[in-house]
Amino acid sequence: MIENASDVFVCVVDLQEKLVPTQSHPAELLQRVKVLLGGLRALEIPFIAAQQYPKGLGEILPEVKELFPENTFIADKITFSCFGTPEFKDAAKQLNRRQMILLGVETHVCVLQTALDAMKLGYEIYLVEDCTDSRHEYDRTAGLNFLRESGVRIVTAEMLLFQLMHDSHHPAFKTISKLVR
């Protein structure tokens, strides 16, 4: 369980112009991602992100990137795991936080390999199920099952946001309540 928001960071994986439209539920994915990122930004949780081969797959979607806090580190990568890129690994380490909120595409490839590598490095992973997708539902399901069995905590956007606030007295409560309605 996340006890302290000051030990958490967000990892956004490959929510790119040519990848998101190919997913099994792109509109629903984007809607949930916007809720989650808006809430996490209100909670002042730091973000890092990665994009797979942007020359061929495009940049992170503008509607996603606009929700990033200023100076969010974005790594270009060719490895499936974000942690295969030394700059990303260094950026995560510099945050000095041990719990990682993970979202993006595809569940069974880049998200899965990022989670497994992060666990090897000692991070506790919270995968946001409604903010991850794959081209085929069976790949998404298999990826989620594998990650769950590997020790990744599977959560939803709303579940996570309310867990981070702890109660309705939190300064971000009204903002987040509006986002989840």
- pLDDT single digits (tens) 43-79: 999 999 999 999 999 999 999 999 999 999 999 999 9
- Look-up: residue for tokens 């509006």? 178
Instruction: Give every CB contact of residue 61 below 8 A, 6+ residues apart in sequence.
Output: 15, 16, 17, 20, 30
> For tokens 């199920």, what's the residue?
129
- Opening angle at CA 48, ends 2 and 28, nearest 5: 75
* CA 102 vs CA 89, 110, 151, 170, 181: distances in Å: 14, 11, 14, 23, 22
Fold that domain 5-180 belongs to in CATH: Rossmann fold (3.40.50)
Q: Over the stretch 101-152, which tens digit does the pLDDT of each residue have?
A: 999 999 999 999 999 999 999 999 999 999 999 999 999 999 999 999 999 9
Task: Supply the pTM of this predicted model.
Answer: 0.96
Quick one: what percent of the chain has pLDDT higher than 90?
96
| 40: its two tokens | 């996490």
DSSP at 93: H
Give yes or no for a cis peptide into 17 (omega within 30° of 0): no
**Calpha distance 148→75 (Å, rounded):** 26
* Cβ proximity of 156 and 128 under 8 Å: yes
